[in-house]
Structure 1
Amino acid sequence: MGEKYLTLSELNIEGQFLGFLGKKVGKYKHLQLAIPAGNIKIKIPKYLRSSLISSLVPGEQIRIDAISKLNPRNQLKLQPYQIQAIGFCPLDNPPPPPQAKIMVCQKSGCLKRGAKALLSDLEKTLGDRGLSDKVTIEHTGCQKRCTSAPNCALILGKQQYKKVHPQAIASLLEHHLST
């Protein structure tokens, strides 16, 4: 980690492995660990990455042997040198993420042309049909379709629908979520 880091101590951390984190799929640099104090993110050394990605399963109990170091900004850094599985404890069933997402443009052009009314109409329609808990409504920036404002896009899995009426969105959602 460099000579500017002050080595504090060696430590062992045991916790439940939650998963890998990284910007690209398959190129994970960090792992997430659940410990009694909360969740922590630990950077995996390069020499351990390939073996860990193929062997660790979310929900597994793991032990991390690491060296704690203090950087010049007085931030604690963990440098693991050994990570091993010590048992398996199934993860609590986390709530499944919403399968559908509605993105509504909130830029000034769309707002002037009725984005607020569209948003309230969407929320009312979804609430009437009992779909509001199965869908996330995301406020976005410009969707680059200003000529057809107000813009909203419905994403169902890998399908994307644009410029759809709120009643049609509710029907599409009911059809998608029933299958």
Structure 2
Amino acid sequence: MSGSKKEVRKFVLEGRFLNTVGKSTSKPKYMRLATAEGEQLLKISKALRPLIMQNHLEVGSWITVSGKETYKPKKGKRKRKIKTIDSHPTLASSPQSPLLEGKVKAKPKKEKKKESILVCQKSSCCKRGGKAVYQAAKETVAKHELRDRVQVKPTGCMGKCKKGPCLVMQQDKSRYVGIKPEEVPDIIAQRYIAVA
């Protein structure tokens, strides 16, 4: 029974933006679009919803939407979910109407993940100055304003108890053992300040 399976394919529609629909105006779930096929009610992907609110689409703006269409022949139901929106400034209702510039992508840019500096805080390393090494690393990161890129994390045993304290740069797994607190600023400066 191949006719009863749901069909999934891409769709592209062009038309005038009418409005968004949802529980509140700040949380749109659907978009109404006037197209050549008639008025369409299209679901907005979750990743795209905040971007629509930020860009404030003007009613009557010409836009092209694309995404995924699911059709269930057994029920005769068709669902369309918008993944991207393109604006058409040349087809705008008026020259002053603020349109989305370019393409609004469904996935906003991910923030760059912070790099981690791990410092052992188990008893053996702490007896050899692990707490002071941890504090020196935190102070150095704060002093050079690296908090947006680097975080200092206390960890459990790293297996180098007799050579402690132990510090690991997680990005490339560089391990420093038997480190002294006064050496920490130079290590961090070499790695992060020269690069910045």
What range is the shorter-chain TM-score in? 0.3 to 0.5
Normalised TM-score (structure 1): 0.48
Which protein is bigger by CA-based radius of gyration?
2
